[in-house]
Amino acid sequence: MEYEKQLQRIKNGSGFIAALDQSGGSTPKALENYGVSSADYDNDEAMFDLVHEMRARIMTCEAFDSERVLGAILFEDTMEREVNGKPTANYLWEDKNIVPFLKVDKGLAEKMSGVQVMRPMPNLDLLLDKAKNYPVFGTKMRSVIYEPSADGIELVVQQQFDVAKQILSKGLMPIVEPEVDINSAKKHDCELLLKADILRNLERLTDDHQVMLKLTLPEESGFYQALIDHPKVLKVVALSGGYSRSEACAKLKQNPGMIASFSRAFTEGLSRQQSDDEFAETITTSIEEIYQASKV
């Protein structure tokens, strides 16, 4: 019942998906951007305490509402913590009507063939079972493409869809995220190969299955329209990938049908040192700008 409600919300609701899923490797940078230096913590536990404090501050803001925010992607540590006395996913769904997702990948393997595939996930089934204890609707996993290598991109997409099928078998919605690096010298060539591989893999899904896609904003406006319109795609969301919020929003507006799922661009300008009023004003500006760009 909850899954069906969440499905309809993602399918028909307006807004964007906030990516609050920085994990072990990316947390120090996220904290640094938030005005917390490595001198402020001396172990991983203290680091995750601080990043959860930041995320809880965002989630409990009045502006972080279901009018403009459709969903939020969580790190496993965040899912297992509480916000306002409730497990984070329960707080988001029950109190805010915001659909929770869980990041499930374990980071990237070494670069080869112009790409980075995901590291092995031997305990994925256990993590998915854990997610089912909460009102988690879906998952997200990330690979990265740097060069237009047909073999490398095929590896990335095949791995993404193999894992997606495992996630679908557990009754969860996978967000497939084969990111194209925004600094690639041949970014559009990468996107051409990527789109063709995604379309091939979508055709191999059974008729009753859908996935979501999380893609880098493309060089050519409207480039992913065939994916947005595909019956086996629930929603196509865009990552910010290192673009500033204003750049990412400008590019998003050129791609009707895509909505934002920004991380760095979403939290841009937030600081631990801000007063509650300053923090609320900054996050409100961010949410409104990203929401407007996602409405196009």
**202 residue type, one letter:** L
Catalytic, out of 103, 140, 187, 214: 214
For residues 26 and 30, what is the distance between their CA atoms, to the nearest angstrom? 6
Q: Is 214 a residue of the active site?
A: yes
Q: What is the pLDDT of residue 293?
A: 98
Query: Of 207, 206, 215, which Cα lies nearest the Cα of 160?
Result: 215
> What's 108's DSSP letter?
B
pLDDT of residue 30: 87
- With a CB cutoff of 8 Å and minimum separation 6, the contacts of 294 are 14, 15, 16, 252, 258, 259, 260
Cβ neighbours of 294 (radius 10 Å):
23
Distance CA(260)–CA(276), nearest Å, equals: 25
- The reported pLDDT for the residue numbered 78 is 94
Question: pLDDT grade, residue 152 (50/70/90)?
Answer: very high
Q: How confident is the model over 158-191, as pLDDT tens digits?
A: 999 999 999 999 999 999 999 999 999 999 999 9
- The answer to whether residues 209 and 167 touch, using CB atoms and an 8 Å cutoff, is no
Q: Is the pLDDT of residue 41 over 70?
A: yes
Torsion of CA 250, 149, 183, 34, to 10 degrees: 80
| More confident of the two residues 25 and 260 | 260
What is the average pLDDT across 197-216?
97
Q: What is the pTM of this model?
A: 0.96
- Determine the Cα–Cα distance for residues 267 and 261; give it in Å rounded to an integer: 12
pLDDT number for residue 228: 98
Q: Give mean pLDDT, residues 258-275.
A: 95
State the pLDDT at residue 27: 83
pLDDT digits (tens, 9 = 90+) for 225-249: 999 999 999 999 999 999 999 999 9
Establish whether 177 is a catalytic residue. yes
Give me the catalytic one of 147, 154, 177, 289: 177
Tokens 């659909």 found at: 99
**What is the average pLDDT value for the chain, to the nearest integer?**
96
Which tens digits make up the pLDDT trace of 76-123?
999 999 999 999 999 999 999 999 999 999 999 999 999 999 999 999
Q: Is the pLDDT of residue 24 over 90?
A: no
